[in-house]
């Protein structure tokens, strides 16, 4: 029995598993659960003139799916194995930001017009898959941008974060931001809102879980 516990906790500490599970439960409720409530409500299009000038670039589907998810999976793994106060600071900020998103999804239901996608090349098929699994609602704030930004901020709080991930997360996050626009999944204000709710999340979480300053390396 002791060996099984060691195998289980060797990958992540118990509090790290708890943080990951709670984060995913909140994400399911905030993103999918709200759709059961606001599905028939009037949805607003928050597009600006700038958004209408942005072209559809299918290549960004590669950033939107595999690149973004790779960043999230590895990033949250790194956060979950940190010391308890650092782990809870990062996951606390993420969960608080996600709860604010849930309120926004109910107060300001949003939608947008997507481009028609033609062709059978791999990037087109990937973009079609994105459109199939992710309906154009619950856009403000962008969950995609939220996850990448919370990890970029969190990387500079971690003590065990590899330097390549810490500094590499900055351009990756900027590419994720761009991918939400160039795949026509989000509009510009969705990105601004995502950054804002993450900053609020870290501000509140920081009152409870103080992280030590990490030296730049």
Domain map (residue ranges) of the chain: 14-208
Report whether 215 contacts 93 (CB < 8 A): no
The pLDDT value recorded for residue 210 is: 64
Other Cβ atoms closer than 10 A to 5: 10
The pLDDT value recorded for residue 6 is: 63
The pLDDT value recorded for residue 9 is: 75
Helix or strand run (H / E) with residue 190: helix 188-208
Q: Which residues of the chain have pLDDT under 50?
A: 1-2, 215, 217
The DSSP result for 119-164, as a single string, is: --SHHHHHHHHHHHHS-SBS-SS-HHHHHHHHHHHHHTT-SS--HH
Report whether 194 contacts 149 (CB < 8 A): yes
The pLDDT value recorded for residue 217 is: 45
The pLDDT value recorded for residue 167 is: 97
The pLDDT value recorded for residue 1 is: 44
Q: In the numeric block, which tokens belong to residue 147? A: 């996850």
The pLDDT value recorded for residue 120 is: 87
The pLDDT value recorded for residue 212 is: 59
Q: How many CA atoms lie within 13 A of 157 on its CB side?
A: 29
pTM of the model: 0.91
Contacts 24+ apart (CB under 8 A), 12-17: 12/77, 12/80, 12/81, 13/80, 13/81, 13/84, 13/87, 15/84, 15/87, 15/88, 16/79, 16/80, 16/81, 16/82, 16/87, 17/80
């Amino acid at each position: 029995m002791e060996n099984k516990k060691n195998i289980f906790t060797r990958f992540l500490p118990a509090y790290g598993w708890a943080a990951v599970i709670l984060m995913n439960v909140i994400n399911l409720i905030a993103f999918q659960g709200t759709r059961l409530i606001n599905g028939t409500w009037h949805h607003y299009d928050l597009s600006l003139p700038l958004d209408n000038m942005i072209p559809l670039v299918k290549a960004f589907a590669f950033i939107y799916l595999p690149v973004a998810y790779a960043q999230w999976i590895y990033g949250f793994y790194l956060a979950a194995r940190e010391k308890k106060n650092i782990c809870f600071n990062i996951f606390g900020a993420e969960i608080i930001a996600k709860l604010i998103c849930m309120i926004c999804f109910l107060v300001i239901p949003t939608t947008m017009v997507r481009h028609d996608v033609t062709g059978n090349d791999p990037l087109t098929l990937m973009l079609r898959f994105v459109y199939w699994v992710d309906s154009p609602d619950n856009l403000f704030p962008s969950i995609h941008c939220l996850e990448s930004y919370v990890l970029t901020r969190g990387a500079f709080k971690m003590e065990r974060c590899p330097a390549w991930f810490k500094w590499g997360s900055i351009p990756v996050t900027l590419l994720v931001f761009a991918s939400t626009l160039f795949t026509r999944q989000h509009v510009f204000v969705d990105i601004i809102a995502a950054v804002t709710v993450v900053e609020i999340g870290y501000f509140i979480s920081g009152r409870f879980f103080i992280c030590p300053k990490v030296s730049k390396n």
